[in-house]
Structure 1
Amino acid sequence: MKSHNFITRDESAMYYECGYSADNAILLRFGSELKFITDSRYASEARQLCKKNIAIEIIESGNIQLEAITQIQKHNIKYLQFDPTRMCVDEYFAIKDITILEPNPNFTQEKRMVKTDEEIMILLESQRLNLKAFDSFAKFIAQEGKEKDEKFLWYKISDILSNFGQFPLSFEPIIGIESNAAKPHALPSDRTFLQNGDTLLLDCGLKHKRYCSDCTRTALFTDKDFTFNKNQDFSNLQSHKKDSPLSWQEKQKIYDIVRKAQMNAIQNLRSGMSGKEIDKLARDVIEQSGYGKYFLHSTGHGIGLDIHEMPFISKRSETIIEDGMVFSIEPGIYLENVFGVRIEDLVVVKNGRAEILQ
């Protein structure tokens, strides 16, 4: 049986529990009381910003690990829950002989899987701000994007997302032109330039009140039009003599399969399903279309204070989906060195069904 007592250095877990975090801190829970141990650089802010309606003690120390040991011994803590995927070896060996450490992988994420109404509203606003950045970037691409390289476009979307530093980024944006879009986590190149008839994949997000957003769109760039909406018409390529291993019909087919896979998962997922059952809703569409080996990753991941958190929507996930969970649905097809498509939205489960955050 797992103890309610725990130890963590995870900043998202700290913030969730007490409303503040620091990169050099340890959070302990002993029963109903929290102990936030940090050094003099952060102690003052911790006293100001930690929640006032909880039982918490801010402890300032020049050696936070030694102080944690002192607190465990002082309060005679017999059992202490920890996350073996996050605790470092040094800390484990320093503590293991003074209390019984109970391993519980990702226990702090499990606590956060079902979001409160307030968290869902923050996530909704975060995603709305993200989609607004997509619109602003699309306007820039339409007016000035031609012949710009990926690295320049990466810097541009980063600036738009942050809004002059107002919003931290959820993760480093992913931007891929044409064959680079076939790399699910492509790095931007300064030797790949946006040309008429290219497809552009953009995956990015920002943080609003610490909560992450995430979205991916794949769009066709021509002189006539550019938009990140999900109605992409590749027949426009008929008027562009572009050297490509794929015809416009083949590109349209692949794009439409990915979109169908995403919508099949969103429309048919239900609370009570496992993560792997939802993954199958998207994966079956792609496999039955003959592109199964080109779907290289999971269908989705939870999102909140971390960009990737539980629940995971994967072939192996046994997690049962409940109302209040928020996660991505993002199938993709990637033909190495040729062409790639991914479409991603965030959904929240309400009344047993998925609603897109937009």
Structure 2
Amino acid sequence: MNRVHRLRKYLDRCGYYPYIISDISNIYYLSGFTGSTAFIIFTENQNYFLTDGRYEVQSKEEVVDDFEVKVIEDYKEAFKGFLSGYRKVWLEPSGGIRLLISLQNLNLDVDVCDEDKVRLLRMIKDEDEIRLIQDVYKVAEIAFLNSLESFSYSEKENIWAAQLEYNMKVAGAKRTSFDTIIASGFRGALPHGVASNKVINKNEPVIVDYGCKVNYCSDITRVIYNGKDNYVLKIVEIVKSALMFAKENIRAGIKCNEIDKIARDYIDSKGYGKFFKHGLGHGVGIDVHELPALNKRDETILEEGMVLTIEPGIYFDGEFGIRLEDTVIVKKDGCETLNSLLKDYIYKI
């Protein structure tokens, strides 16, 4: 059963017609369209794909046959026409407030669904998606290895970020998955320490958390460290061990919060629990942050085909931080690591 049919089965059961999708990631998942502006309308008997003249050729080339493509001039007038005869419409939760207001201005009763069914469907990746994700991870890994040759100490974090992003583009990326994090020395204590004008010194650890997108996203974290400080190396081993323990326990049937607890309990047993300041990981796919979440609150049961980051970290304010990250595919009796080219977790330059 393809993606559209699976969604329609849900809409039929709930009676959510007409159902409007505006989230561009959800639209890509269902239709294959890679442009930036479109809407999908499901009625009882039709699947409409709406876009404008900028994407007339592109939509004909990309949109799957499940949809009737409509190239329109005025979205407001188009909605008025397609929704005539209806008193009530349904929106996905990720639909924007502007769309909601526009529909209300058409004297429609607008109901926002409690769950984003498309995002829930996206949690389980099919074989084609896994292949695309593997490909984009190779792009990211090749870029990192090539960047090691050009990284130099006494340069600013922004320079390293620019070199890495350039190499991702050269390797085939469309864009970065998120703002590249190059966090050296005391800035490594910032879990989201995007690259700054700070100069990178030779004997301080540098967190490199980065990713790129080619329709699907990658997300990898490694540390660059030339120093020999035994305390830093101890923290590296604790974080690495927490990562390994989590990966060893991932399998279909276990809950997300149980995996988070395994890594968290290990770090806590070493005396550093209060320095692990975020969830263990998250789903990754069309968006770099997808469902489910590996944290204390998420009780989602893992299923085969889920793709998850595993990224424990320990952060000391004003001193340094260490985070390491792999991405895995959940299997029936374990998991498979996606990022296969970066064999090491700590690199020297």
- Range of TM-score over shorter length: 0.7 to 0.9
- With over 3 angstroms needed to count, the CA separation of the structure-2 counterparts of 1:202 and 1:111, relative to structure 1, is same
TM-superposed deviation, 1:62 = 2.9
Residue 145 of structure 2 aligns with which residue?
135
RMSD, matched Cα: 2.0
TM-superposed deviation, 1:32 = 6.1
Give yes or no for contact 2:89–2:110 (8 Å, CA) kept in 1.
yes
TM-superposed deviation, 1:22 = 3.3
1:83 aligns with 2:88: no
Per-residue CA distance 1:232-253 (angstroms, 9 max, x = gap): xxxx52xxxxxxxxxx222122
Residue 272 of structure 2 aligns with which residue?
291
Quote the Cα distance in structure 2 between the aligned partners of 1:179 and 1:13. 39
Give yes or no for contact 1:25–1:64 (8 Å, CA) kept in 2.
no
Give yes or no for contact 2:173–2:213 (8 Å, CA) kept in 1.
no
TM-superposed deviation, 1:7 = 1.1
1:122 aligns with 2:132: yes
Residue 111 of structure 2 aligns with which residue?
101
- Paired-residue identity, %: 30
Gaps of 5+ in 1: 222-235, 238-247
- With over 3 angstroms needed to count, the CA separation of the structure-2 counterparts of 1:326 and 1:165, relative to structure 1, is closer
Q: TM-score, normalised by structure 1?
A: 0.84
Q: In structure 2, which of residues 29, 32, 36 is the aligned counterpart of residue 16 of structure 1?
A: 29
Letter of the 2:169 counterpart: S
Q: In structure 2, which of residues 211, 222, 241 is the aligned counterpart of residue 217 of structure 1?
A: 222
Give yes or no for contact 2:283–2:293 (8 Å, CA) kept in 1.
yes
1:171 aligns with 2:178: yes
Written as runs of structure 1 = structure 2, the 5 A alignment for 1:144-183 is: 145-163=152-170, 166-183=173-190
TM-superposed deviation, 1:63 = 2.6
Quote the Cα distance in structure 1 between the aligned partners of 2:313 and 2:183. 14
Quote the Cα distance in structure 2 between the aligned partners of 1:305 and 1:328. 14
TM-superposed deviation, 1:175 = 0.5
Q: In structure 1, which of residues 177, 184, 206 is the aligned counterpart of residue 191 of structure 2?
A: 184
Gaps of 5+ in 2: 1-12, 341-349
Written as runs of structure 1 = structure 2, the 5 A alignment for 1:170-249 is: 170-190=177-197, 192-208=198-214, 210-221=215-226, 236-237=227-228, 248-249=229-230
SS in 2 for 1:156: helix
Give yes or no for contact 1:261–1:286 (8 Å, CA) kept in 2.
yes
Q: In structure 2, which of residues 64, 68, 71 is the aligned counterpart of residue 60 of structure 1?
A: 71
TM-superposed deviation, 1:18 = 0.9
Per-residue CA distance 1:175-203 (angstroms, 9 max, x = gap): 1111111111113222x222221211101
Residue 347 of structure 2 aligns with which residue?
none
SS in 2 for 1:196: coil
- With over 3 angstroms needed to count, the CA separation of the structure-2 counterparts of 1:66 and 1:282, relative to structure 1, is farther
Letter of the 1:137 counterpart: S
Q: TM-score, normalised by structure 2?
A: 0.86
Per-residue CA distance 1:210-260 (angstroms, 9 max, x = gap): 111110011213xxxxxxxxxxxxxx52xxxxxxxxxx2221221111111
Quote the Cα distance in structure 2 between the aligned partners of 1:326 and 1:132. 20
Give yes or no for contact 1:65–1:91 (8 Å, CA) kept in 2.
no
Letter of the 1:17 counterpart: L
SS in 1 for 2:328: strand
- With over 3 angstroms needed to count, the CA separation of the structure-2 counterparts of 1:21 and 1:128, relative to structure 1, is closer
Quote the Cα distance in structure 2 between the aligned partners of 1:203 and 1:296. 16
